[in-house]
Amino acid sequence: MLNDRLKTKLKNRKEVNALRSIINSEGIDFCSNDYLGFSKIKWSSQLSSGSTGSRLISGNNPQFTSLEKNIALLHKSESALLFNSGYTANLGFFSCIPQKNDTVIYDQLCHASIRDGINLGLARNFSFQHNKLSHLEQKLQQSSGSIFVAIESVYSMNGDLAPLDDISKICQKYNAHLIIDEAHALGVFGENGLGLANNIKSFARIYTYGKAMGSHGAAIVGSKLLIDYLINFSRPFIYTTALPPHSVERIKWAYENVRNNKTRELLHNHISFFKSKCKHPHLIESDSAIQCIIIGGNLKTKQYAQYLQSKGYDIRPILYPTVALDTERIRICLHTYNTKNEIENLCQLINQSI
């Protein structure tokens, strides 16, 4: 009976052209989150690849403490706490900080990790229309208990930016606690590539190291009180094996090298060049490394992506239910290692297919 149920669910996915499978990356990379090319930089480390246990048992070492102090300093916060990924950081925060009589309000385009964390918690939760401040304020007026507002500074499936200053002011007006996920801004935007929210009043920020930083893991930054609470009550932190020492060292290396303004300047030149060459009418407005074109329909979007793949470009379709019905799209990620010739040839293919 269980097998029948699983087969039926998979069959249903297949019928709507939403069945997922794991495939190898082939062709020119226009799909990865390695915006600065940091993951391609090889290095030799004599540090252990195993951490032997959780941070609270045997997995801690002075590297963690030193890096967390530096992360807090760089991001203008009291404290920081490393997690094994951006997903577990969001899961760890939203599942334990908001309580039963509280309210969480989140942008409807927030990442699945934020929504999963909220669903594991006990607080009431509502979404607000993407980047629509009037709708956010309406939801705030209906909220009770401690209020939390969850947003991303750069949205992963649109590539567009949140109006951080305006949202922060609204949160202050209603005494709401703002949480900002900086996954796709770190390394790409801000002074020294440190993201868009360093100077934005917030309760907590989440920084992910598997995107532009070319490593793995994540950190939550905030007050010392917040970090102490997470250490004691965040189950994804307490009950997981710690990052290995070489991963911690790699994050440190990324912070030291992300300050290179010429690298970010090259990336932003590529972004401007792509926008000047791509003439598709359904290109979502974005100044980030994420450029998305709405195609609509799972089958049509998959076929469009397959066409570009057949021409040698590694571009993936983003399908329903990952995005809303009829907003299925191809997601093009730009990198420092893409050449202008590669970008121009890709745009010509896109323009010819309109």
pLDDT tens digits, residue range 82-99?
999 999 999 999 999 999
Q: Does residue 34 sit within a domain?
A: no
What is the model's pLDDT at position 85? 98
pLDDT tens digits, residue range 297-321?
999 999 999 999 999 999 999 999 9
Lowest mean pLDDT among 23-27, 189-193, 262-266: 23-27
Q: Does residue 114 sit within a domain?
A: yes
Mean pLDDT of 58-79: 96
238 plus 107 within the same structural domain:
yes
What is the model's pLDDT at position 212? 98
What is the model's pLDDT at position 23? 87
Please say whether the dihedral angle defined by the alpha carbons of residues 93, 226, 64 and 205, taken in this order, is positive or negative. Answer: positive
Of 257, 274, 293, which residue constitutes the final position of a domain? 257
Choose among 187, 189, 190, 110: nearest CA to 152. Answer: 110
Q: Does residue 315 sit within a domain?
A: yes
Alpha helix stretches (DSSP H) within 2-85: 2-15, 62-74
Report CA-CA distances (Å) from 114 to 14, 71, 302, 306: 27, 22, 27, 30
Q: Does residue 112 sit within a domain?
A: yes
Q: Which domain holds residue 180?
A: 62-257
Q: Tell me the residue type at 41.
A: I
What is the model's pLDDT at position 43? 74
**In this model, does residue 181 exceed pLDDT 80?**
yes
Of 257, 273, 307, which residue constitutes the final position of a domain? 257
What is the model's pLDDT at position 107? 98
119 plus 172 within the same structural domain:
yes
**In this model, does residue 339 exceed pLDDT 90?**
yes
Report residue 49's pLDDT band, with 50, 70 and 90 as the boundaries: confident
What is the model's pLDDT at position 239? 97
- Any idea what the CATH number is for the domain that residue 289 is in? 3.90.1150.10
What is the model's pLDDT at position 47? 77
Q: Does residue 182 sit within a domain?
A: yes
Q: 17: how many CB neighbours lie within 10 A of its CB?
A: 17
pLDDT tens digits, residue range 13-46?
999 999 999 988 889 999 999 999 999 988 767 7
265 plus 207 within the same structural domain:
no
290 plus 213 within the same structural domain:
no
The count of structural domains within the chain is 2
241 plus 281 within the same structural domain:
no
Q: Does residue 167 sit within a domain?
A: yes
Of 223, 257, 291, which residue constitutes the final position of a domain? 257
